[in-house]
A and B are shown apart, each in its own frame.
Chain A
Amino acid sequence: MGQAKDKAELSSLSAQTKLMPSGYKKLGTVMVVGGGIAGVQAALDLTELGYYVYLVEKSAAIGGAMAQLDKTFPTNDCSL
């Protein structure tokens, strides 16, 4: 997690993000909407691949539904 945290900006953005069709100026950036396990993994992989990531999550913490689970199949280890 360490790696993404300093590169990926983590903020509690609202869902009212507008998407502009124009070409982008800040090169090499990707936005990930939703900070559940899917969003976090995508952000981590993108930073590893060499891109700057804006991870947008509407609630106060990342993790999504997985953070609420006690243990998770199939390995039944703790989710956190």
Chain B
Amino acid sequence: MRPRYIDADKCTACGLCTKYCPRHLVDQYNEGLAVTRPIHIDYAQAVPATYYIDPEACLYLKHGTCQICVCTCQSKAIDFSQKATEKELQIGAVIMAPGFGRVPDETLAKYSYGQHPDVMTSLEFERLLCASGPFEGEVKCISDRRHPKKIAFIQCVGSRDLGCNNGYCSSVCCMYAIKEAMVAKEHDPEVEITIYYMDMRTQGKGFDAAQKKAESMGIRFVRAKVADVMPWDKNLKLTYSTMDGKHSFEPFDIVVLSVGLDAPADAKNLGEITGFALNEYDFCKTETFAPLLTTRPGVMVAGAFQGPKDIPESVTQSSAAAGIAAGLIAKDRGKALVHKTYPKEQETGKDEEVRIGVFVCHCGINIGSVVDVPAVEQYTEGMEGVVYHAQSLYSCSQDAQEVLKAKIKEHNLNRVVIAACSPRTHEPLFQETLKDAGLNRCLFEMVNIRDHCSWVHANEPAAATQKSKDLVRMGIAKARHIQPLPEQTVPVTNKALILGGGVAGLTAALTIADQGFHSYVVEKEEKLGGHLQHLSYTLQGETVSTVLSELTEKVKKNKMIEVLTSTEMTLVNGFVGNFSSVLTTTKGKKATETTIDHGVIIIATGGREHRPEMVLGNPVKYSDAIVTQRELEQRLAGKGKNPAPKSVVMVQCAGSRGDDLNYCSKVCCNHAVKNALKIKSLDPASQVVVLYRDMRTYGFAEDAYREAREKGVVFIPYTMDNRPKFKSSGKKTSVTFYDPILRDEVTMTPEVLTLSVGIVAEGTEEISKLLKVPVNEDKFFLEAHVKLRPVELPVSGVYVCGLAHSPKPVEEIIVQAQAAAAKASIPLCKGFVSVEPTISCVDKEACIGCGLCESLCPYQSIRIIKDENGKRKAETITASCKGCGICASHCPVFAISMGGYTDEQINAQITAFGAQ
């Protein structure tokens, strides 16, 4: 463990030391575009919020001089005596998440990177766009600080390039280039932006829409290979060649290199220490059907180290890896956890005297340099209910918590008001201290005099001070009315219901069984296996049927899993932890109903192959000569005499990406390449032509795409303005398309025309109605948060994985299923769900049972029931209420109040605003 030279318990992250440190240091966090000091913190919100000293740059650690910081630090946190330590840990499982590394500078040199300051990497450009970046978010040329008029992005730098040994596609750079271009355009609508690309790989859920938006904002996309970038006067000259073989050049002010994600620099070392294998590109080696297992048992991998990927997928993989690790050591669950205990809560009755303590914080100089903190503190003297007031330098520091506890005891305080920074970041900390002092955590009110006063009115100290006084007065007025609220928990039935018995559902069931919980797998067909039953082999060469039969065997043998085939869910009641569902099993003409209780639901109902009757404007009749990729695969894997056709034309995006579906189906480019390779291996003489818009063989599948081209498969792009035309006569179908290399129309009559038809959602709307969970415009389930909660749905206790979420390849489906199972296991493990005290509460007397609240609640957390007199009354479902307040604000008779925000409290606050 390397030393920080700063005592983390004492450091308050005030930043004085950085101000006084005399030495400059290039700021790595800002990609070398700014300077900082040897003693610093990378960024204000860093965790841990402790400064550190770079020993290579510090004057004392290098030369034994200086030590200025030691006397500037008011909390005496600087400790030069810290030494590097080694620790030996005993652990049950390991998750490797070391992320990605950088593309080496040599690869960037041909674009004049390092020679001209206005050629920069996308990560540097990202810092330039950021408000905390070197120019506070203004986009300027590094060379002379002028505002750029023309910006170019070059895609696939350090990716899809065997010249630098990175044959794979980095999967994220197309999408982040679009993002950066759009943000730059928002900063300055006048700026002209061109993106030079080979294929736009925006295959993720909703990503194609982003590209369309970028196009509508005037961002130009040019399919071309960039030869080089050269300094040219004040500008940069970019030379590129288009598909028709033409070379052109164009001047730019800034050139952004969309650098790929390399393997981490110390990957080899990590592999050796830990004992797992790497793939040929030094990423972690894994298998299609066990995507997160390294070659060393007990060691899992997640994130960009498993293969280049974006944040939503990294987050999904981490939850999945956590689930697998937890499953491995499930028998030791909870043994190492440290549980915190609190003193008994003191009773605070409604009639008891209100005793408020007010604490006003300087936040170092953050508040104190603008707001007159002593004046604000004095102002509270004598206010009704206030029995104690004080100031503190950092009310969030560890010792300030001790002081707070002591003062609560000493003055017998039963309400606490803290005027400091944002409750979003600090309320939990102070509430924790209140609990430690034996007070209910709701007896707390926070006033934000940093964001609302010292920050926004930094140049008007008098006004900022006056506003602070007003806000504090209002906070105290509210505090007089706040009441303790109970900490509630709801018990959980520790069983899971899994809808769908395809690879997603089966994987999820096994992952949950590994944690030691029971699950029901409900499959509407007679057989388990779903889509995988129709696939024969994978791109990596695995035989699907063996994997699938192993998987179903494992599920059938597992005592924790109950499989119900020919069964559908017909009714569901309840809420997180306490669902009750009716399942209908149909055997022949007989239908039987069973009711089961369960705590969570995982939706893994899959999707189905799209079968458009119209493709790119051509009517289609499926036959032996016009097939889908899946049908072609079955023919190729079959025992027939001539499985490989003599000639094939494959048409990509047949139905997807705006043809009739509005999204990219994500799997069909890989599927086409897989089948093309299979044909070539069966019969190298067979002719295969693939007509595509963008080949989206992202990640390591790029290798297969390259192999296919090497083996003679011909890939020809088409555009939506110039679509391939089909013409059928008898059994034959001819295809006419424009070849940009020949610059002419070409007509072929292949033995088989194969359509890459894509994937559509199936049955999601019915489930959406049953469970009241939303679907998007393409009928796929809509997750709670795309990046942070990718497998959870907005209704608590309901999770989604597989094709029901969006089209994706089997490897990603397995990960998603493991992630959904891990997330679903959290309430099962805990055995209860805890409820935030700030939830809605219905006054049954006042309620007229109109049901408006039930129809408005976005979380299905308030419902109408019949009371003992048979009258309709609203009732909050405490376990799932999120406290948003929509019901309370719409109730026509004011029968609903929100814990912590009652009308009484808010009125008191408003009245206090008017009073001086």
Contacts and interface: CB of A to CB of B under 8 A. Distances in A.
Interface of A: 1-2, 5-7, 10-20, 22, 24-43, 45-52, 54, 59-76, 80
Contacts of A39: 95, 97, 302-303, 318
Most buried by A among B305, B318, B340, B786: B318
Most buried by B among A19, A43, A45: A45
Nearest to A3: B428
Interface in B183-223: 183, 204-207, 210
Interface of B: 1-2, 4, 29, 31, 41-43, 45-48, 52, 84, 87-100, 123, 126-127, 129-131, 133, 137, 175-176, 178-180, 182-183, 204-207, 210, 266, 269-270, 273-275, 302-305, 310-312, 314-315, 317-319, 321-323, 325-326, 329, 332-338, 340, 428-429, 515, 785-787, 822-823, 825-826, 829-830
A73 B207 contact: yes
Given A15-B266, A19-B274, A46-B325, A29 B129 contact: no
Given A70-B133, A72-B311, A38 B303 contact: yes
Nearest to B172: A73
B266 A73 contact: no
Contact of B826 (A24, A36, A48): A48
Contact of A28 (B48, B87, B303, B335): B335
A69 B304 CA distance: 15
Given A36-B99, A67-B42, A28 B334 contact: yes
Contacts of B333: 28, 49-51
A48 B489 CA distance: 16
Contacts of A47: 337
B826 A49 contact: yes
Given A70-B183, A75-B786, A33 B98 contact: yes
A67 B46 contact: yes
A15 B84 CA distance: 13
A60 B404 CA distance: 30
A41 B137 CA distance: 28
B269 A26 contact: no
Nearest to A47: B337
Nearest to A26: B90
Contact of B45 (A40, A49, A50, A80): A80
Nearest to B127: A68
B444 to A, nearest CB: 15
A52 to B, nearest CB: 4
Contact of A29 (B52, B90, B270, B305): B90
Contacts of A66: 311
Contact of B336 (A27, A33, A64, A70): A27
A60 B317 contact: no
Nearest to A23: B90
Contact of B29 (A31, A37, A68): A68
Contact of B98 (A16, A34, A70): A34
A68 B319 contact: no
Contacts of A2: 428-429
B179 A42 contact: no
B2 A25 contact: no
Nearest to A79: B311
B47 A24 contact: no
Contacts, number: 247
B310 A65 contact: no
Given A12-B1, A34-B96, A45-B323, A73 B91 contact: no
B96 to A, nearest CB: 5
Given A37-B311, A42-B319, A61-B42, A15 B176 contact: no
B1 A49 contact: no
Given A19-B273, A72-B179, A7 B302 contact: no
B43 A67 contact: yes
B336 A54 contact: no
Nearest to B99: A36
Contact of A33 (B45, B96, B823): B96
13 contacts: A15-B266, A19-B274, A19-B275, A28-B329, A33-B98, A48-B830, A49-B323, A69-B126, A70-B127, A70-B130, A73-B176, A74-B175, A75-B785
B1 A14 contact: yes
A30 B325 contact: yes
- A-B interface, 8 closest residue pairs, ranked by CB to CB distance from nearest: A38-B303, A52-B336, A39-B97, A45-B322, A34-B97, A41-B318, A28-B332, A61-B46
Contact of A73 (B52, B179, B302, B830): B179
Contacts of A36: 97-99, 303-304, 314
Contact of B97 (A7, A22, A32): A32
B302 A80 contact: no
A46 B326 contact: yes
Contact of A50 (B303, B319, B337): B337
B694 to A, nearest CB: 17
A16 B48 CA distance: 21
Contacts of A48: 826, 829-830
B829 A30 contact: no
Most buried by B among A15, A16, A29, A35: A29
A13 B4 CA distance: 11
Contact of B123 (A25, A50, A68): A68
Contact of B43 (A42, A52, A80): A80
Nearest to B207: A74
Contacts of B97: 32-36, 38-39, 42
Contacts of B207: 73-74
B31 A27 contact: no
Contact of A76 (B179, B205, B314): B179
Contacts of A24: 90-92
Contacts of A68: 29, 31, 123, 126-127
Contacts of B305: 34, 38
Given A30-B329, A33-B95, A33-B98, A38 B304 contact: yes
B322 A42 contact: yes
A51 B94 CA distance: 12
A61 B126 contact: no
Contacts of B323: 45, 49
